Structure 1
């Protein structure tokens, strides 16, 4: 049942991908969770665990051969899986935003930064050219890019990786969405810039009152940046609950293996636990 206090409710979600031989491969299976307004949830797990595919299903951005086979995705009281494509496009940006993993791949190299921010600013709102420029400069300044007016005429290749990621944050938050999904948003950045970008996301989403889904393979990021943690493996949730409980008192063997495989500098080096293909029952707190 969907709670009236939930911003996002995902129920029994299953995503299948059509194979080259005409069959179906399940990549997300029986996934269920809820997110309250302003809540921060991290989804963690190894590559291929279904984290990004779950986010793509919520955003309506599944690959061409993938589809939601069953389940419900309810955002702000609206069933997203029932929306036609045009209405779904209206919801992206205005109600939910995405910060993707690779800023160089996500920004168009033939258009200026100003052109691309303007596209995000005017996607759901009619504005004059002067208003667009003012709003674009304000967004760049809010994400920490100085000399914003002159930066609007720059191209993506003229920005550093950290600056490009800041541009994507500005675009994702241009309409102050109620839900922000950050999909491995700092993977390509060095540790110092990574912390700055995460601090920026925390600050701007708190200011806007946005709920956040932080998709990451980095358990230290999940520990320091989320209220709750959901652990996924082979398309299923194996454990979920408050971050301090899941990451300090894990019940699932897989979560314990992930934690054991994380580098630690406060204890002697140990051999890594093998993560095999055995199944385990989901543990939800």
Structure 2
């Protein structure tokens, strides 16, 4: 099993001073049922993926754990991410849920743990982040970050704690390029991760995407994922079909030129297919 040739990105913050790098191309498990997760993750690892993204909310951590336990690779060749559930922001519950995540994944040390949603209207941004810092200081996670946080959320927790998240995982695709937030990330030294990188499939028949795909001799999905990689975002497409998992990894035999990158970026409509961070409140 040879790893894919995607470059690794160094995480500057949220690592307790220890060097941590994250593979730029990963495999996502959102909405993959527990029944299908182990097989899909095993297939991804066989095809060379070394970065696996899961979450407490997905309900499939145990199956991810079985796949990585049985893959035969040394632990240090895999990068595993999970995320804190919305129902577990209170410190005691967060500690219990983090322990449960490690047990489900069969790991002593997690590579990256994220606050899944800020819960800014009903929760305690600073208290939750302080608990994440506690996990980092314990040595049981190599890096901590956030997901779906807006600039004001980031500034609030950084100002209060002095600890900057390593990454912010947000919805990004050509219809939602998130340039203002990505600029903030660069200013703060935060790595951008893109969830729903293919816009849940809605943009694969966009005429501009199809035109670039024909010009490069690749599929629309490959073109969009290549756009993400060349922008410098960490990306993790997901599928349960081995042929699609393989297709999504075949991104390193071509490059988009400046004009193609610009044409795809110009498709931005600030359109979300997922939830807005301010809309996700309470138990979800």
TM-score scaled by length of structure 2: 0.39
Flag the structure with higher strand content: 1
TM-score scaled by length of structure 1: 0.39
Larger Rg: 1
